[in-house]
Structure 1
Amino acid sequence: MRQFLITGVITLTLSLLPFAAGAETVAITGGKVMTMGKSGVIENGTVLIEDGKIKQVGKDISVPKNARVVDATGKVVVPGFMSSHTKIGLSEISLTKDSNNHSAKEAPFSAAFDVRYGLNPETVEVANNRAEGLTRAVAAPGGSDRLFAGSGAVVTLSSGLHAVRGPVFAHLDDGGNAGVAWNRMRIILDQVKAYAKNRSDVLEGDGRSGFLLTLEDMEALIPVVRGERKLALALERAADIRQAIALKEEYDLDLVLLDVPEAWKVAGDLAAAEIPVVIDAQADLPYQFTSLGSTLNNAARLEKAGVTFAISGLGETHRAYLVNQWAGLAVAHGLSYEGALKAITVNPAKIFGIADSYGTLEKGMEADVVVWDGDPLEVTSNPEHIFVRGVEYLRVSRKTMLRDRYMKLDPDMPHAYH
């Protein structure tokens, strides 16, 4: 039994390692390359990866002699997918308090909460999601009943869970009273602007009197009121979306809206205001009065109006990788195929500020590349090769290890295992 446990530990350790130690030169040849960029779709194309980045993309590219060749003939090559609202790295088991680091619920601050300090790079959910073609995600705070939940992080699903600071997240929920929530939001933004102009006077005085938030939270929101950091605001009703549009104009905010099942009702206004949204493409039934207008046509109508949007399972951890299936569901209800792929690659990259390095298969971009054995939006398709920042990772996760462990049991193992 001891020998079996030691072997299991070794297997787990090896499974977390990439296919190759460090970046290498790789040529992915012969596939249908969907660049999601200016080059469009390249039939029988080649993607040349070197030093973690894409060196060349196109047809008839000369492959270096030292390159490892991946034959993608008959396959589809796309950027690794991105889920725009997850708890990856922040939650292991949702019902156990000690494995969740996504909430500042019991802390004396909220907006100042930064999820980066609670990220766990050893979580099994990195490999579980990466094995299904997900290479980027937004780790978002949540679980707080306060207006501001804290700062999120844009994470790369590689060994080490590379993270950069993301937007401040807020939830329009004040005891179910939207009017109170919008008033509170405006009061806080006005107080933050005043505090930013007179910080020294405030700190020299009694400090905290008169403010609805702590000074720590006020400091965290200064870049937001200056338009230097994005504010991600979760809401539902069309009426509240209109309030958000007015708020952006009034305070000159860099705003992104989350959830918004009724966004289709005000799609033209969102497009005119240039406010991007992150939607749940599965939302088709109202679960409360604020989402009566939920429809599976939301994505299609947003696309028609010219709204930039991303598709994501809101707050997902264990199933965040299903973004391609949710995008496919949107296609079944009117969204264009190209629009669906954009919603899980280049669009979230633009929304969350990483489009200069991720989201398209173009020269100079970080090599997040996935080779699929079929249509990547089809539920029966699977990724065959997964590259994150130029390093290939085996399609191994805790799920596959458990499968392999119990499919063929050692006859000498204790009876309980049989």
Structure 2
Amino acid sequence: MILIKNGTLHTAVSKEPLQADILVDGGKIVKIGAGLSSEGAEVIDASGLNVYPGFVEAHCHIGLDGYGIGYEGHDYNELNDPVTPQLRSIDGINPFDPCMEMAAKAGVTCMATGPGSSNAIGGTFVAMKPHGKRVDNMIVKFPVAMKCAFGENPKRCYQKNTITSRMTNAALIREALKKASLYKAKVEAAGDDASKLPAYDQKSEALIPVLNKEIPLKAHAHQANDLCTALRIAREFDLDITLEHVTEGHMIVDELAKENVPLAVGPTFGHASKFELQNKTWETPGVLAKAGCHVSIITDAPVIPLHYLPLCAGLAMKAGMDEYDALRAITINPAEHIGVADRVGSLEEGKDADIVIMDGTPFTVEGVVKHVFIDGEEI
């Protein structure tokens, strides 16, 4: 058992901080309260320190895009086929990627990582902890979403032979979903009679969980029109969807507020390296949050190194985002966005003991991480 005493707790589910202790046992938060007994527990004195839930990244590619390496570590984009729903992130992740440890030591204790945006449909994301030697033992939930992409990236990657317009990209996604829908109907009609089953189709099989709303489409879209196309397709097929990047979200905030879908905003730090990023601004997360949207802030690591996730929230605050909204945008909101809020994203009894203890706040460069716990283990 571990007892974290006398800390200032920022739970991410209550706006006001509270002075309290946290009792950890069996990798879980078992009790939160004032004056908890320390009998039989290792005591960590958090007096004068701030205590946060482990930070959560809703969208990145670490483990699939090697650190300090070339093509040997490039495993996040498959460039032989623009439609690859059958690909699974867990088959490419390297748990010894140095970015894992960097993120963990900065307090990022859970992230969704998966395929990049070269393909119209790219494959499945996983939610995992950045601590361990074997991916199978690091998984929080798999799969969490099916990646798809709109806009410039698929066009650029396949402009010579397959995708030369946004219309073609959208058509390929529709075609794959319609084929999967027909395949699913045939499988269901066959029932237990194997002789009536359609010929096995790995791509269509992989899309059945999307059609069944077991996982959402995770739609890469920067430009306002691409955001609307992603929503249009999701509504056509009655699918769940999350929107990723949302660079021009502030330009259609009224439309996104009506849609009420999870939004992952970023990566915002850095140069506008392509046309669809021309309107990116740190104001976007705050504008969307103030309108009542469900907002997560993302690094899209390695675009922004994952260990800078909390500082991204600080830059959004500098641009006008409310501090509580900013905290929620790197804790409980991304946990909800990727479907793991039952385990991570807030300081609550019964949840995983993913805890960050800091001198100062995570939103400034002056903040210093003193302790990080993942599943109750200090790392």
Match of 2:96 among 119, 122, 126: 122
- SS in structure 1 opposite 2:203? helix
- SS in structure 1 opposite 2:147? strand
Whole-Å separation in 2 of the counterparts to 1:177 and 1:283: 28
- Offset of 1:249 from its aligned partner? 2.1
Structure 2 counterpart of 1:154: 127
Whole-Å separation in 2 of the counterparts to 1:235 and 1:310: 15
- Offset of 1:347 from its aligned partner? 0.4
Indicate yes or no: 2:3 matched with 1:27: yes
Q: Which protein is bigger by CA-based radius of gyration? A: 1
Structure 1 counterpart of 2:182: 194
Residues 261 and 109 (structure 1), Cα distance of their counterparts in 2 relative to 1, 3 Å cut: closer
Structure 2 counterpart of 1:235: 221
Structure 1 counterpart of 2:148: 170
**Which residues of structure 2 form unaligned runs of 5+?**
none
Provide the aligned C-alpha RMSD in A: 2.5
- SS in structure 2 opposite 1:341? helix
Match of 1:217 among 203, 206, 212: 203
Structure 2 counterpart of 1:401: none
- Offset of 1:58 from its aligned partner? 2.4
Indicate yes or no: 2:54 matched with 1:97: no
Indicate yes or no: 2:18 matched with 1:42: yes
- SS in structure 2 opposite 1:256? strand
Match of 1:52 among 7, 22, 27: 27
- Whether the aligned pair in 2 keeps the contact of 1:42 and 1:59 (CA below 8 Å) is no
Whole-Å separation in 1 of the counterparts to 2:47 and 2:277: 45
Whole-Å separation in 2 of the counterparts to 1:82 and 1:254: 21
1:242-280 deviations in whole A, cap 9, x for unaligned? 222222222111101111210112222222222111111
Indicate yes or no: 2:280 matched with 1:294: yes
Match of 1:373 among 344, 356, 359: 359
- SS in structure 2 opposite 1:228? coil
Q: TM-score, normalised by structure 1?
A: 0.80
- Whether the aligned pair in 2 keeps the contact of 1:140 and 1:315 (CA below 8 Å) is no
- SS in structure 2 opposite 1:338? helix
Whole-Å separation in 1 of the counterparts to 2:189 and 2:331: 46
- SS in structure 1 opposite 2:90? helix
- SS in structure 1 opposite 2:63? coil
- Whether the aligned pair in 2 keeps the contact of 1:76 and 1:376 (CA below 8 Å) is no
Between 150-159 and 322-331, report the one with greater CA deviation.
150-159
- Offset of 1:233 from its aligned partner? 0.7
Whole-Å separation in 1 of the counterparts to 2:4 and 2:336: 26
Whole-Å separation in 1 of the counterparts to 2:224 and 2:15: 37
- Whether the aligned pair in 2 keeps the contact of 1:93 and 1:100 (CA below 8 Å) is no
Whole-Å separation in 1 of the counterparts to 2:174 and 2:80: 24
- SS in structure 1 opposite 2:256? helix
Structure 1 counterpart of 2:51: 77
Whole-Å separation in 2 of the counterparts to 1:57 and 1:206: 53
Match of 1:343 among 321, 326, 329: 329
1:183-210 deviations in whole A, cap 9, x for unaligned? 22222222211121124899979978xx
- For residue 11 of structure 2, what is the amino acid of its counterpart? T
Between 350-359 and 170-179, report the one with greater CA deviation.
170-179
- For residue 182 of structure 1, what is the amino acid of its counterpart? A
1:156-209 deviations in whole A, cap 9, x for unaligned? 12223511312111111344521222222222222211121124899979978x
Whole-Å separation in 1 of the counterparts to 2:206 and 2:378: 37
Structure 2 counterpart of 1:9: none
1:291-336 deviations in whole A, cap 9, x for unaligned? 3332221011101111111111114278111010010000000100
- SS in structure 1 opposite 2:8? strand
- For residue 131 of structure 1, what is the amino acid of its counterpart? K
Residues 91 and 318 (structure 1), Cα distance of their counterparts in 2 relative to 1, 3 Å cut: farther
**Which residues of structure 1 form unaligned runs of 5+?**
1-24, 209-213, 394-418
- Whether the aligned pair in 1 keeps the contact of 2:286 and 2:316 (CA below 8 Å) is yes
- Whether the aligned pair in 2 keeps the contact of 1:302 and 1:309 (CA below 8 Å) is yes
1:346-382 deviations in whole A, cap 9, x for unaligned? 0010010100011110110100001001111111212
- For residue 168 of structure 2, what is the amino acid of its counterpart? V
Structure 2 counterpart of 1:322: 308
Whole-Å separation in 1 of the counterparts to 2:66 and 2:228: 36
Indicate yes or no: 2:256 matched with 1:282: no
Whole-Å separation in 2 of the counterparts to 1:107 and 1:272: 35
- SS in structure 2 opposite 1:224? helix
Q: TM-score, normalised by structure 2?
A: 0.88
- SS in structure 2 opposite 1:158? coil
Whole-Å separation in 2 of the counterparts to 1:319 and 1:281: 10
- For residue 134 of structure 1, what is the amino acid of its counterpart? V
